[in-house]
Chains A and B, each alone.
Chain A
Amino acid sequence: MESSELERFEAVVLPHLDAAYTLARYLTRNDHDAQDVVQDASLRALRYFAGFRGAGSGEGRAWFLAIVRNTAYTWQQRHRADTLSTEFDEERHSETVADEHPEAALQAQSQRAAVRRAIAELPPEFREVIVLRELEGLSYKEISDVAGVPVGTVMSRLSRARRRLEDALCAEPEDC
């Protein structure tokens, strides 16, 4: 790779490491695998970067996230036995209660736990569209590029994912 290409890689791909790691965390559900997935994905991204013609930061993000996503799925197929046995939800085990307003803190905490549990229980194809849309703010078109499905499918997956979340979070009518 030319050094100018490496500079382009650093400018176009590396700024999205946080987004990549967040997606990998939600797909693999643990820190260690997520780090390995992102590292593996960035190596692939380096190798295939010559074929990437986009220039904008948004295009770079979608392109890199698509690689991260595919790497995560391949990774899980290969390490299924491992991930099932070592899966550990750090978030769920490291909740802390704020000192002030203990009741409000408890309520917020239980809602936070409920949201995370509901997300964790979504099938991966629903979980990823929620993460890409709500956390990364990707457009339907960008999500369709990352997930490799038509925009119409993105739209219906997002809607079905939200229906499941609604069912999980709005068990009591006054909740929502």
Chain B
Amino acid sequence: MTHPGFEAQIDAYLDGELAPPDAVELEEHLRACPDCSRLERRRRAVRVAVREHLPRFPAPDMLQARVRAQVQAESRQTDRRRAPTWTALAVAASLAVVAFGSWQLALRDAAGEAITNQVLASHVRSLMPGHLTDVLSSDQHTVKPWFNGKLDFSPPVYDFAGGGFPLVGGRLEYVDGRPVAALAYSRRQHVISVFLWPAERGRTAGPRAATLQGYHLLHWATPAYTYWVASDLGLPELHDFAALLRRGDSAAAATVR
């Protein structure tokens, strides 16, 4: 039997949350009351066991990346909201000039521009809660078969964890009027989206880069696939990543031959 009023006091005492006069009074009682002092020992043991065996969970890199992307998106949005109408026009005009200048893709036709916008929108949308992956796995042998029956092609899926770009998962997207494969890779706290679908015959293209709303886009076409890559990662590192993908593809093609 313990004294009911003392139980919560004992816990508060162990937590260092009891006011000093109350703590002194409790200590006197513990010395005099074997039941309460046994309870105090048991509560100490419980606290030790809980602290020793209950894990803390560090936030996964992917979560950190998504949260930081939100903060960035918020600051971009604010910049847009704060511009008054007439300056907005001026900004839009200067942006158009900048875009024209930095736009190295051969995408003057409206169709190409539409794809660019779709790719960017898909990437940004994937950073919103719950949209990053339909299949969450760093195992290429889980991600690749997941696309079976969902697409009319089986996309090449690589794991570049060794190169510092671990696979995160895959999802379905709809780009250029057809369902396409989207793969998510990560680099530190950045997310990289890779979009691919079977290429039109004979239309290969070297890697071209573009920057839109703070995101970098890369595009190239192999004889087999049309590739788009989107990320807020720095352009040099994104080029490294693209090189890995292209190397993976040519190694795979060499095996087939």
Residues on A with beta carbons closer than 8 Å to the beta carbon of B12: 140, 155, 158-159
The CA-CA distance from A2 to B68 in the complex, in Å, is 16
The CA-CA distance from A9 to B75 in the complex, in Å, is 11
Residues on B with beta carbons closer than 8 Å to the beta carbon of A36: 129-130
* Chain A binding surface SS class: helix
Say yes or no: is A134 at the interface (Cβ < 8 Å to chain B).
yes
Interface residues of A in 1-48 (CB under 8 A from B): 1-3, 6, 9-10, 14, 17-18, 20-22, 25, 31-32, 34-36, 38-40, 42-43, 46
Report whether B45 and A155 are in contact in the complex, using a CB–CB cutoff of 8 Å: no
Interface residues of B in 50-84 (CB under 8 A from A): 50-60, 62-64, 66-68, 70-71, 74-75, 78
Contact string, B28-65, partner A, CB cutoff 8 A, digits 1/0?
00000000000001110111011111111111101110
Nearest CB of chain B from residue A52's CB, rounded to whole Å: 15
Say yes or no: is B17 at the interface (Cβ < 8 Å to chain A).
yes
Q: Which residues of A pack against B, CB within 8 Å? A: 1-3, 6, 9-10, 14, 17-18, 20-22, 25, 31-32, 34-36, 38-40, 42-43, 46, 91, 111-112, 115-116, 119, 130-131, 133-135, 139-140, 155-156, 158-159, 162-163, 165-166, 169-170, 175-176
Interface-central residue, A22, A39, A131, A139, by most chain B CB under 10 Å = A39
Report whether A18 and B58 are in contact in the complex, using a CB–CB cutoff of 8 Å: yes
Residue in B closest to A21 when the chains form the complex, CB atoms: B59
Say yes or no: is B139 at the interface (Cβ < 8 Å to chain A).
no
Report whether A111 and B53 are in contact in the complex, using a CB–CB cutoff of 8 Å: yes
Interface-central residue, A40, A134, A139, A176, by most chain B CB under 10 Å = A176
Residues on B with beta carbons closer than 8 Å to the beta carbon of A21: 57-60, 63
Nearest CB of chain A from residue B31's CB, rounded to whole Å: 20
Q: Which residues of B pack against A, CB within 8 Å? A: 7-8, 10-12, 15, 17, 41-43, 45-47, 49-60, 62-64, 66-68, 70-71, 74-75, 78, 129-130, 136
Per a CB cutoff under 8 Å, which of B15, B49, B51, B56 touches A158? B15
Residue in A closest to B127 when the chains form the complex, CB atoms: A39
The CA-CA distance from A42 to B64 in the complex, in Å, is 10
The CA-CA distance from A38 to B59 in the complex, in Å, is 9
Report whether B70 and A156 are in contact in the complex, using a CB–CB cutoff of 8 Å: no
Report whether A162 and B47 are in contact in the complex, using a CB–CB cutoff of 8 Å: yes
Report whether B15 and A133 are in contact in the complex, using a CB–CB cutoff of 8 Å: yes
The CA-CA distance from A17 to B66 in the complex, in Å, is 12
Report whether A1 and B74 are in contact in the complex, using a CB–CB cutoff of 8 Å: yes
Q: List 30 contacting pairs A-B, 8 Å CB cutoff, sorted by A.
A: A3-B78, A6-B71, A9-B71, A14-B68, A17-B59, A17-B67, A18-B56, A21-B63, A25-B57, A31-B60, A32-B136, A35-B63, A35-B66, A36-B130, A38-B67, A39-B70, A40-B129, A42-B67, A46-B71, A112-B53, A115-B54, A134-B50, A134-B51, A135-B56, A140-B15, A155-B8, A158-B12, A159-B10, A162-B43, A176-B42
Nearest CB of chain B from residue A106's CB, rounded to whole Å: 14
Given contacts A32-B136, A155-B8, A176-B42, contact A91 B55 (CB under 8 A): yes
Report whether A14 and B75 are in contact in the complex, using a CB–CB cutoff of 8 Å: no
